[in-house]
Structure 1
Amino acid sequence: MNLLNKFYNQDTIQHQFLNRDIKLWREELEGIEEEIHFFKNFLEVPQNRTNQELSSEKLLLKLTEKRLENANFLSLLSNFSIKLEGINECDNIQCETFYFNDFVNFKIQIESFLSQYRKLKKNLFLKINSHFKK
């Protein structure tokens, strides 16, 4: 796949990368939504409720917290995607810088959330794996 055409100008290339990040984040957040649903269902199965490692209320609370954060980021991402379209109206570097700074700040926030979620997911997988090894 050739993402960049040699005839694109610098602004078009930057916009393509911004749009690509937004698309990837949306896919990631939608996947997280399904994973959390799966994990909660798995942990609430009666035979898993008898295992202390898997029946932790703290674990269910963390999943609920991440589900809410994820839903919030999905909403923020939709709004941010619309807001970012304003960059197309920019006719000077100051205007573009405003949008790029917003993008960088949003990127830091969402990637921090994604990193935290990956750590939680790894922890869940380790607990589930140790449960099956017993």
Structure 2
Amino acid sequence: MISNIQEHHSEEEIETIRLQNEVRQWKLELDFVAQEIEFYLDIFNSSLIKRTKVNRVDSEYLFDQFQDLREINHNILKTCQKFLPRLDEMNECDDIQCDHAFINAHIVLRKKIEKHLKEVRNIKYSAFCFLKDGIEKFLD
């Protein structure tokens, strides 16, 4: 698996390298998101939440949202891990249809990841606002 483009690489090899690098970047981002999700789950499951004057129903809802995100994130990460080695097969393609199949699969995965990351941001923002409000009430 090559990560740097060299002068001797063909256009097909360059495209494969580019796609592999993008998938590697997604994996790094999804790994970090997994850590963030665990952090929020720990917070919402902690005694800290019980001590603040927050709405318990909202707290449980956010906890459930992060549990769902954890499962989705795990599944997408597994998909990336399976897809990355398959990109080496792209260099073996003999026709444009084969190339397009890999590129289309990559685009579908990209859209799935982008949608997931948008959802992660939205739920993290809700959690941030919820926690900020709870802390402010606690300090008053």
Q: Tell me the TM-score range normalised by the shorter chain.
A: 0.7 to 0.9
Counterpart among 106, 109, 114 of residue 111 in structure 1: 114
1:24 maps onto 2:13 in alignment: no
SS at match of 2:54: coil
Q: Deviations over 1:2-42 (max 9, x none)?
A: x6555543223212220121011101111111111111111
Alpha-carbon distance between aligned partners in 1 of 2:88 and 2:7, rounded to the nearest angstrom: 23
Aligned AA (1:16): I
Q: RMSD in angstroms over aligned alpha carbons?
A: 2.0
Report if the CA contact (8 A) 2:23-2:84 is conserved.
Answer: yes
**Structure 1 gap segments, 5+ residues each:** none
Tell me the residue number matched to 1:41: 42
Tell me the residue number matched to 2:54: 52
Tell me the residue number matched to 1:71: 74
* Offset, 1:72: 0.7
Alpha-carbon distance between aligned partners in 1 of 2:122 and 2:36, rounded to the nearest angstrom: 13
TM-score (norm 2): 0.82
Aligned AA (1:18): L
Between the two proteins, what is the percent identity of the paired residues? 25
SS at match of 2:85: helix
Paired residues, number:
132
**Structure 2 gap segments, 5+ residues each:** none
TM-score (norm 1): 0.85
Larger relative CO (CA 8 A, sep 6+): 1 or 2? Answer: 2
Going from structure 1 to structure 2, the CA distance change for 1:4 and 1:85 (only over 3 Å counts) comes to closer
Alpha-carbon distance between aligned partners in 1 of 2:116 and 2:63, rounded to the nearest angstrom: 18
Aligned AA (1:89): E
